[in-house]
Amino acid sequence: MRWVAVPPDPVLRPVGRTTPPPVYRGPPSYPAPPRWGLPLLGWRAPTSVPSMAAPTLDASTRARLVAVPAIRMLWATAVLLVLAAAAEAWRYLLLVAGLHGALTVQTVRLSDSAVQTSALLALVFGVGAFGAALLWLVRAGEAAAELAEVRPSRPRWQVILGFLAPGVNLIVPGSVLAELEHTAALRPPDRRPRPSRPVTVWWIAWSINLLLGFTAVLWRFREGAQAMADGVLLHLVLNLTAAAVAVLSLYLIRRMSRLLDPVDVRTTARFHVVRVEGAAAAAGERRPRHPGQVR
């Protein structure tokens, strides 16, 4: 037996309906917003989804998140302290002018209001800036230890207590900053930390400001016109030194942050579009409509 392949009989071929090729009729259009698709909500972080765990941030990121508000509050505190010093200077000039003649009640009240308002605002912002800077210091110490792969030089409670305890806060803050700078710069752990010039200048300004503040508290117990005038000058110098401490503090925060995270967004080159070649027509230009496109 031999098999022979022959074409099928045309009669036995299935007769099907030929469909024309699809015609493009433009993008879909709906009489009303469709109910399918993504919900009409703004973008949410993955932490807002109950079934997903919150991502853990590293120590460097936590320190960077605190550094920005701390720097802003320190700037505001420095400006308010300068204004408070100007108000104290005005009060001293009024005291000198009062030796040769009487002053109006409105001038004295305006001077007192300027001194009290500026001092109160500087105190409020100063406490907030001090808390933010102290929180940054704790997190920066953890970030530096993580970067150098060593243990933190001091526990948290020791750092906080060293800045708050009277007497101790004259010595410990400079040592803490020197240790932080030593660790963040990836210097040998067995070498003794030595404070740099910015840290030393901050340390001196910090100690002078604390001593002036303690002296200003004791000066209030003195009586007499001369004691009042000297107290005004003392508060003027106290406000100026506090402003210097605030400016030096924000400088150190920026300096330490660059050691912990070398990428500085302020100095990084930002790319911008100069021109586009060979691209499609702009969105504002009207293109010819397809014959079968639906409006």
* HSE-CB for 10 with a 13 A CA cutoff: 0
Phi-psi region of 167 (alpha: psi -120 to 50; beta: other; left: phi over 0): left
Question: Where is average pLDDT lowest: 116-130, 160-174, 279-293?
Answer: 279-293
| Cα–Cα distance measured from residue 219 to residue 232, given in angstroms and rounded to the nearest whole number | 10
Residues 255/257/260/261 CA torsion (nearest 10 deg): -110
pLDDT tens digit string along 158-177? 999 999 998 899 999 999 99
| Cα–Cα distance measured from residue 256 to residue 64, given in angstroms and rounded to the nearest whole number | 10
139-152 in b/e form (b: 16+ CB < 10 A) is: bbbbbbbebbeeeb
Name the nearest CA neighbour of 147 among 182, 193, 183, 187.
183
| Cα–Cα distance measured from residue 56 to residue 46, given in angstroms and rounded to the nearest whole number | 12
| Cα–Cα distance measured from residue 126 to residue 241, given in angstroms and rounded to the nearest whole number | 13
Residues 6+ apart with CB under 8 A from 183: 141, 144, 145, 147, 148, 150, 153, 189
The confidence band for 291, taking pLDDT boundaries of 50, 70 and 90, is low
Cα-to-chain-centroid distance, residue 155? 24
Q: How many CB atoms lie within 10 A of CB 258?
A: 13
Q: State yes or no: pLDDT of 265 exceeds 50.
A: no
**Cβ–Cβ < 8 Å for 177, 252:** yes
Q: How many CB atoms lie within 10 A of CB 165?
A: 11
pLDDT tens digit string along 219-256? 888 887 788 888 889 999 999 999 999 999 999 999 99
The confidence band for 289, taking pLDDT boundaries of 50, 70 and 90, is low
Positive or negative, the CA dihedral 100, 102, 108, 110 is: negative
Q: What's the pTM?
A: 0.69
**Mean pLDDT of the chain, nearest integer:** 82
Q: How high is the pLDDT of residue 53?
A: 56
| Cα–Cα distance measured from residue 183 to residue 59, given in angstroms and rounded to the nearest whole number | 14
